[in-house]
């Protein structure tokens, strides 16, 4: 027997899980108020010292709580699964949503009136003082126009903190925060007064000392709280637990951990405090099994069951972290996504297999907790034990969308190609969705932008225009193209233009964070900020990158192939006929105001707001119908029959995802054009831009910005997700689809690629199913695919959950580079998941 099954969680874990599932996320005001007070009190200080004083104020006064049953403590908010606001990055969007955030389509949050009042008062300080204000001041109008027209967006870090980092948990486990303080004092004393950089280095080391002393005090507040609760507790078992929690928090993370329980508490305090310092998401625990296993191995007093329960508790705590975004961004990150990626397996720095007991215990934690976080990942290479991959397959078929699987044989050389040493590349972890980085040595700026390749295709077809606006360069009328080479020349010209402004916009935001929001607490745990005497925002990390990610690659490849086949090869269409059909949206016009029959995104959102104002309970389908009715009043009828034959012809073309070189290599070339253009640019931290191809769930949201395409896709529909084929287009089974995806150049897309597959549960049943799964993964990786992840669920179950959400509150699915409760997703994101091809062996 290969399959082993899973034990049941303890009653404690079940109770803690239900607390998360039943929580109604709230916005809380305490951090925003405390940060504002600290900024007001530090006018005139250098930015790094102001940030240290902000951390000091928050760690000293943020309300703390220890919830019933917890063994690992430390919370960002009083209410479970809630969020604080960080106004130093941006604030005005929050105030605009005081009345609507609780009822919005994606990721609603309650904002009580007293919270709104406190935030309103705090926000009075911030106009002109935020990182977003400074970034906007640096940005050219052309870059802003590109953003406004849906070519790309840098809103992720424009509105919030950066995150997307994995710090050195192992260092803190060994030396504690007191060790960091001693290191900062020593380095400060060794500064050369003749070095002009010594002035700023002195400020950096001083800020680290301030931040880490405050962090120790924060942990001691929890020690005091646990002791207080223990003194009043009448249950002897819980009393003993609270007394030990108090002892743990008194010792760690001030000092190094001596037991596995202390190691778990240390790890969580680091994670919690990083979230408090800034609003960055994708703060990822990294290679949890590597830095935690030595403490399990050395702890002779702990039982395996109790160690498992502690890991399960960390899993619960990772689900307690939440983040709110503006209404539009919330749709791109649908499902309360925070992207804390925890990775196990792979290789050691010496190139030996790294699998250990904690690797397997993490899989058990997934089965016990069955919640969206963490984004659980495994690394696979030629030396990965079959048992490890089979056990991972058992986790996959639980239907939670994890683990995501990563290929060492592609990622390690791709990182080396970007200048990472072999040892550091072997020690990579995954942060965020799918982004590899040399852990605790990298400031990667992954997720720096969403870039819409399909929108650039549309603009290329319109000679640089969006509507009547000449947004891109004039690269030639599509009707004059006589070959595929003519298209590539025009497409490359447009790509060059838009990537230039993408890099400009990203760098404007990058500069703003360095000038206004350096992070001393985080920086001291990233190499080699301490050695260089500067924060990660100022270039202190060993490796510095900026990673914008593309989506719409499969749509573009399919469209270009359809043009090649039907216009230039078979001559069944002229480009003039194709353009006419596209401009008319194949006869499916959706608005009277636009001559192409399209609605602008601004019109959509304005109509959404009007509809929500009168009926906040509408689901997305009803909302869409109402919006279209509103915007189509007075629209001239369009004769759809004239274009339906053209649409059917285009839709009949071979598509990416069926192991056909003719179309697959076109998709590869279109992706390469983007990736090679991106890597021409550098960032203010002295690092290189590197491309990724993954969408989060932006393929749904930003599909609305794209008109009809030559693959037969009508306007406004979702685009393909990541490097996956278009939904329903991969007709020849999972191996053929994987072979197509593997033909993309995953080495050059070193910021990460994302491939989704959906299987029927029956396909992975029994030992045969597990073996087939392992063979599929190894075959795909032998063909040099980088990443793959799976939903194992049938369409019928998803439809039932959509219809009766109250019965499926604990149904978790893979959205993109993360998992989420299915019932909290916007209906259009649910529809996108339902429409993915169901594979079987």
Catalytic residues: 433, 435
Q: Which two tokens stand for residue 761?
A: 């549960």
The answer to whether residues 490 and 129 touch, using CB atoms and an 8 Å cutoff, is no
Tracing tokens 């969020």 back to the chain, one arrives at 83
Beta bridge partners of 787: 406
Decide: residue 807, CB within 10 A, 0-12 exposed, 13-18 middle, 19+ buried: exposed
DSSP state of 654: -
Decide: residue 250, CB within 10 A, 0-12 exposed, 13-18 middle, 19+ buried: middle
Q: Which two tokens stand for residue 326?
A: 């503006």
Label residues 415-446 b or e (16+ Cβ within 10 Å = b). beebebeeebbbbbbbbbbbbbbbbbbbbbbb
What is the bridge-based pairing of β-strands 469-470 and 465-466? antiparallel
CA 308 – CA 310 distance, rounded (Å): 5
The helix or strand, by DSSP H or E, that contains position 394, with its residue range, turns out to be helix 386-396
Angle (deg, nearest 10), helices 260-277 and 198-232 = 120
The helix or strand, by DSSP H or E, that contains position 380, with its residue range, turns out to be strand 375-380
CA proximity to 363, closest of 322, 393, 334: 393
Angle (deg, nearest 10), helices 795-803 and 827-834 = 160
3-state secondary structure 757-800: EEECHHHHCHHHHHHHHHHHHHHHHHCCCCEEEEEECCHHHHHH
Cα dist. 547→336, 672, 689, 756 in Å? Answer: 22, 15, 6, 20
3-state SS assignment for residue 442: strand
Tracing tokens 């109509």 back to the chain, one arrives at 607
What is the bridge-based pairing of β-strands 787-792 and 756-759? parallel
Tracing tokens 């992954």 back to the chain, one arrives at 446
Question: Rounded to 5 degrees, what are φ and ψ at 89?
Answer: -95, -50
């Amino acid at each position: 027997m290969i399959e082993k099954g899973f034990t049941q969680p303890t009653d404690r874990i079940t109770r803690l899980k239900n607390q998360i599932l039943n929580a109604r996320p709230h916005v809380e005001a305490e951090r925003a108020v405390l940060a504002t007070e600290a900024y007001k009190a530090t006018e005139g200080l250098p930015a790094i010292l102001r940030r240290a004083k902000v951390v000091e104020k928050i760690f000293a006064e943020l309300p703390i709580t220890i919830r019933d049953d917890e063994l690992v403590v430390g919370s960002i908010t009083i209410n479970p699964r809630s969020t604080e606001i960080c106004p130093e990055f941006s604030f005005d969007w929050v105030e605009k949503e005081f009345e609507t955030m609780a009822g919005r389509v994606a990721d609603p949050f309650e904002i009580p009136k007293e919270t709104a009042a406190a935030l309103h008062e705090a926000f009075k300080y911030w106009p002109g003082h935020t990182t977003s204000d400074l970034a906007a001041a640096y940005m050219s109008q052309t870059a802003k126009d590109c953003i406004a027209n849906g070519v790309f967006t840098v809103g992720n870090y424009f509105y919030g903190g950066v995150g997307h980092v994995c710090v050195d948990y192992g260092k803190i486990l060994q030396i504690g925060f007191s060790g960091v303080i001693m290191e900062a004092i020593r380095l400060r004393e060794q500064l050369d007064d003749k070095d002009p950089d010594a002035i700023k280095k002195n400020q950096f080391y001083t800020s680290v000392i301030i931040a880490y002393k405050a962090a120790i005090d924060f942990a001691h507040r929890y020690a005091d709280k646990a002791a207080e609760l223990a003194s009043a507790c009448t249950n002897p078992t819980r009393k003993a637990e609270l007394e030990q929690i108090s002892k743990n928090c008194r010792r760690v993370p001030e000092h190094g951990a001596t037991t596995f329980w202390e190691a778990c508490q240390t790890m969580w305090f680091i994670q919690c405090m990083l979230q408090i310092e800034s609003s960055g998401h994708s703060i990822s625990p990294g290679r949890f099994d590597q830095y935690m296993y030595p403490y399990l191995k050395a702890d002779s007093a702990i039982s395996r069951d109790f160690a498992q329960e502690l890991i399960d508790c960390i899993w619960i705590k990772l689900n307690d972290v939440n983040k709110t975004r503006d209404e539009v961004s919330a749709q791109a990150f649908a499902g309360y996504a925070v992207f804390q990626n925890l990775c196990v397996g792979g290789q050691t720095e010496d190139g030996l297999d790294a699998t250990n007991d904690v690797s397997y215990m993490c899989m058990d934690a997934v089965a016990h907790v069955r919640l969206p976080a963490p984004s659980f990942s495994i690394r696979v290479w030629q030396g990965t034990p079959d048992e490890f991959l089979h056990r991972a397959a058992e986790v996959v078929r639980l239907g939670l969308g994890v683990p995501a699987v990563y290929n060492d044989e592609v990622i390690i050389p791709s990182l080396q190609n970007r200048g990472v040493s072999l040892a550091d590349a072997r020690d990579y972890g995954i942060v965020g969705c799918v982004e590899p980085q040399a852990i605790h040595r990298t400031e990667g700026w992954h997720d720096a932008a969403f870039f819409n390749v399909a929108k650039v295709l549309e603009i290329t077809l319109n000679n640089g225009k969006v509507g009547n606006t000449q947004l891109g360069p004039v690269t030639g009328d599509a009707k004059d193209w006589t070959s595929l080479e003519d298209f590539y020349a025009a497409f490359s010209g447009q790509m060059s233009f838009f990537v230039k402004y993408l890099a400009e916009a990203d760098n404007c935001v990058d500069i703003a964070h360095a000038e206004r929001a350096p992070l001393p607490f985080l920086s001291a745990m990233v190499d080699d900020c301490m050695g260089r005497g500067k924060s990660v925002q100022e270039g202190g990390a060993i490796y510095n990158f900026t990673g914008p990610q593309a989506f719409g690659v499969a749509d573009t490849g399919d469209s270009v192939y359809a043009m090649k086949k039907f216009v230039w090869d078979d001559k069944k269409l002229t480009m003039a006929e194709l353009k006419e059909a596209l401009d008319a949206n194949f006869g499916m016009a959706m608005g009277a105001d636009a001559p192409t029959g399209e609605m602008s995104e601004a019109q959509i959102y304005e109509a959404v707001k009007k509809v929500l104002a009168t009926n906040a309970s509408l689901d997305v389908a009803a909302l869409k119908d109402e919006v279209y009715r509103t915007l189509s009043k007075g629209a001239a009828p369009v004769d759809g029959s004239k274009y339906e034959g053209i649409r059917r012809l285009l839709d009949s073309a071979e598509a990416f995802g069926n192991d056909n070189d003719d179309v697959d290599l076109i998709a590869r070339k279109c992706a390469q054009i983007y990736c090679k253009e991106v890597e021409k640019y550098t960032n203010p931290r002295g690092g290189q831009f590197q491309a990724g191809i993954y969408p989060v769930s932006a393929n749904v949201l930003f599909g609305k910005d794209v008109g009809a395409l030559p693959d037969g896709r009508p306007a406004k529909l979702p685009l393909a997700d990541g490097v996956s084929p278009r939904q329903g287009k991969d007709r020849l089974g999972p191996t053929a689809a994987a072979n197509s995806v593997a033909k993309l150049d995953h080495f050059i897309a070193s910021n990460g690629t994302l491939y989704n597959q959906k299987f029927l549960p029956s396909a992975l049943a029994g030992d045969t199913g597990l073996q087939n799964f392992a063979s599929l993964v190894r075959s795909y990786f032998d063909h040099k695919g980088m990443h793959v992840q799976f939903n194992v669920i049938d369409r019928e179950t998803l439809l039932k959950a959509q219809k009766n959400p109250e019965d499926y509150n604990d149904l978790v699915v893979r959205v993109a580079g993360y998992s989420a409760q299915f019932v909290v997703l916007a209906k259009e994101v649910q529809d996108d998941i339902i429409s993915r091809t169901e594979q079987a062996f």
